[in-house]
Amino acid sequence: MDLPKVDVKKILYATDLSENARYAFAYAVSLADLYNAGITMIHVLPEVPAMLDQTVIGYISEERWQDIKSGQMDEAKEALIGKKREHLAVKEALHQFSEDIKQQQAGEGFTTDDIIVQRGNPVEEIIKGAEECNCDLIVMGTHGHGTLEDVMLGSTARRVIRRSKVPVLVVRLP
């Protein structure tokens, strides 16, 4: 039996900015160096679930709920990043993170092809990002809590594995 040639040229690194995701980045960098591949980073800002919106709107008006969400978002933005739009600040932070890693990892060469910051469903956006960027591999971290939430909803990593058309490397903290 002949094995197919594995040729990884584009890696999608999905991050939620957690310690687990940072640890998974080491694997993305190592594989990028090994295969001379480029890395596209993606971070998805989750939206408030529609079910929560509907529940809250049952108690207060939709207009008032939108005002509260908008006000909290504005306060958070100002506290964390000044007046910049949140996705631009995250994108800048990921770019700086990538540059810092490049400097620290002498001898391990990788290129950052793109940095995508999107709002939406993390699973949907990761799958869409891998397809649009024509990626050969997705690398992401997992929390691996095994909680009731994982059982009920399935973790993001688990759902990406189920739906992805390309291989997914899921990295757990040691």
Cβ neighbourhood burial of 107 (10 Å; 0-12, 13-18, 19+): exposed
pLDDT for 97 beyond 90 = no
Q: List pLDDT tens digits, range 23-68.
A: 899 899 989 989 999 999 998 877 766 666 666 666 777 777 666 6
- Residue 146's pLDDT is what? 53
DSSP per-residue string spanning 83-147: TS-HHHHHHHHHHHHHHHHHHHSTT---EEEEEEEEES-HHHHHHHHHHHTT-SEEEEEE-----
Which CATH code is given to the segment(s) 10-46+85-172?
A: 3.40.50.620
Q: Please say if the pLDDT value at position 98 is more than 90.
A: no
pLDDT for res 18 = 82
Instruction: Give the pLDDT band (50/70/90) at residue 152.
Output: very low
C-alpha distances in Å from residue 114, one per residue of 43, 71, 86, 123: 11, 31, 17, 19
Q: Is the pLDDT of residue 125 over 60?
A: yes
For the chain, give every domain's residue range: 10-46+85-172, 47-83
> What is the predicted pLDDT for the residue at 119?
79
